[in-house]
Amino acid sequence: MSPKEVLDFAKKHDAKQVDLRFSDIPGLQHHISYPISQLDEDAFEEGFGIDGSSIRGWAAINESDMLLIPDPATVFMDPFAEIPTLVMVGGVIDPITKQHYERDPRWIARKAEMYLKNAGVGDTAYFGAEAEFFVFDNVRFDQNQHSGYYFIDAEEGRWNSGREKDNLGYRPRYKEGYFPVPPTDHYQELRSEMVQTMINCGLVVECHHHEVATGGQCEIDQKFDTLVRSADNMMLYKYIVRNVAYQYGKTVTFMPKPLFQDNGSGMHTHQSIWKDGKPLFAGELYAGLSQLALWYIGGLLKHARALSALIAPTTNSYKRLVPGYEAPVNLAYSRRNRSAAVRIPMYSASPKAKRVEFRPPDPSCNPYLAFSAMLMAGLDGILNKVDPGEALDKDIYDLSPEEMKNVPSMPASLEEALQALEDDHAFLLKGDVFTEELIETYIEYKRKNEYDAVRLRPHPYEFSLYYDI
C-alpha cells in the first residue's frame, strides 16, 4: 500500500489508534500506540519519536532519541484490540543523521536482501520457516539467592494420565504425538482459530498439526516469502499464536526445550534464491539441485557453528541440540534424511519447489538476524564455490564412532556458539550487512545476560547430584 492507501484503509476500518512495532536485538517485539489523528502522509517520511535507551542491545541513554518510520506494506488491523487499531512495522532512523539505525534487526535484513542483488547472484531470497511451540495450561518459575525452580502443567501432558479427578485420558505418549486425531490432539480447534486469525491478518498458511511431543506441542506452517517479509510474518505469527492461546486461558512458549526427555521445538528453515522470476536451486546434480545450490549448502555447513549463535541463540537451545536425540547437530546434507543438518525436500519434482532446508534453527531466534545470517553464509558459499562434500544418505545415528569422526557437529553450548561467532563472522560483514559493532554488542549481551547468568546460578538438579557429597 501507499501512505494514502493506508489512510484510506484506516478510515474504512474506522481505526481509532495506530500501533507501530519493532524488534530488539534478542528478538522480542515492542510497540507504541498513537491516536489515529497523529497519522498522516507526512508521518511516513518524518516518523514518530521514541526513546531507545531501554531497548535491549540498543543505544546508550546519551544517544537514545530515535525515529520510527511506518512501513505501509505491513499494515493490518489488530485482531485482538477492542479499540479498532491499525498496526504497522516501523523502521528505526537516527534523528540526527537521518540514516537507518545499524542495530535495527529489520534494517539488517533489508541490507541482506540488497547484498544479494549487488553480489549479482540473484534478486530474491525466499525463506519459509516452520516454527514449533508448546501450549501449556500453567507455568510457574522463579530464581533468587536461595531457591530456583520451574513447574509446567498441561492438560494434554502424558504425566497427567494418573490424575484422580477430571481425567478422561486421551493424551499423546512421550515422543508419539505426531498427527493424532482428536481427542488425543486436544488443540485442533485452538490451532484452527489461530490459522483463521492469521489468514485474516494477511498471512498465507499451508497446514497445521500436532507435533511429536506430549504436553501440547504444535506446528503451523506458513507459505514462504521474501526474507524481510518472512521475518515480519514470523513476528506476526508469534503475536497471533500467543494471543489466541491467551484468550483460551492457555499459555504458549517458543522456548526450544521446555520438557525433559521429549522433543524440543525447532524452526526448520527452507530457503532458495531466484533471479528474474526463475529458481536458481534446480538442476541436474544431487537431489535435483544446481551447482549454485550445492555451493549454498557448502556455505551453510562451513559457517554453521558461527550461525548457531544467531539461529539457536539461547542456553536452552543446546538442551535441544544434543547428539543422539531428535535435533540435527551433525553438519551434513542429504535428501529426505531428517537427521542431517541440511535436508533437500523431495516432495515435488517442480523446479520452483527446489529448496534447501536448514534444520538446526529454533524459534527463540530473532528471525531478522537469523534469516540474514543464513543468507550471508549461503552467499559466501556461492561466491567462494565452497564444496559441501559428499552427501550423507545413511541414518547418521547408525554410524559407527569411526565414521562419526569425519562428521563435524554444531556447538554444545551457547558459549561455544558465541566463541565460534567471534572467530568466524567476516562473511556477515560483507556489504556492511552486519557491522563489527553489532556483532560485538550481540556477543557481549548474550555472554553477560544469558550464558553467565545461567552459569553462575545453582541448578536444582545439582542438589540431587551433590547435596550429600
Would residue 219 show up in a list of annotated catalytic residues for this protein? yes
Q: Catalytic one among 155, 185, 219, 415? A: 219
* Cα 191 from Cα 240, distance rounded (Å): 11
Q: Angle at the Cα of 236 (from 235 to 239), degrees rounded to 5? A: 90
How many residues in total does the chain contain? 469
DSSP class of residue 449?
I
Check: CB of residue 410 under 8 Å from CB of residue 342.
no
Q: Is 338 a catalytic residue?
A: yes
Residue 281 to residue 290: CA distance in whole angstroms = 5
Catalytic residue check, 393: no
In DSSP notation, 95-150 reads TTT-PBPTT-HHHHHHHHHHHHHHTTS-SEEEEEEEEEEEEESEEEEEE-SS-EEE
Active site residue 63: no
Q: Are 25 and 107 in contact (CB under 8 A)?
A: no
Decide if 332 contacts 342 (C-beta within 8 A): yes
Is residue 440 annotated as part of the catalytic site, yes or no? no
Residues 104, 132, 221, 362: which is the catalytic one?
132
CA angle 227, 306, 367 (to 5 degrees): 25
Q: Which of 21, 343, 359, 425 is catalytic?
A: 359
Its sign, for the CA torsion 38, 39, 43, 47, is positive
User: Grid coordinates representing 310?
Assistant: 544467531
- Confirm whether 193 is a catalytic residue: no
Label the pairing between strands 217-222 and 205-210.
antiparallel
Contact 216, 156 (CB under 8 A): yes
Catalytic residue among 163, 338, 455, 459, which?
338
> Any idea what DSSP says for residue 213?
S
Show Cβ contacts of residue 354 under 8 Å, excluding neighbours closer than 6 positions: 272, 279, 281, 282, 283, 288, 289, 290, 293, 344
Determine which one of 24, 104, 211, 362 is catalytic. 211
Q: Which of 78, 156, 225, 357 is catalytic?
A: 357
**Among residues 110, 242, 268, 303, which one is catalytic?**
268
Quick one: which of 133, 151, 134 has its CA closest to 142? 151
Which residues are CB-neighbours of 215 under 8 A, at least 6 positions away? 134, 136, 152, 154, 156, 157, 158, 159, 259, 262
Confirm whether 208 is a catalytic residue.
Answer: no
357 classed as catalytic: yes
Whether residue 155 lies in the annotated active site: no
Active site residue: 24, 78, 113, 130, which one? 130
Q: Give me the residue label for grid cell 556492511.
A: 432
Cα–Cα dist 268/238, whole Å: 16
CA distance 290 to 307: 23
Pick from 264, 364, 369: nearest CA to 307? 369
What type of residue sits at position 324? Answer: G
CA distances in angstroms from 276 to 122, 124, 229, 353, 430, listed in the order given: 8, 9, 19, 16, 23
Catalytic residues: 51, 130, 132, 211, 219, 268, 338, 357, 359
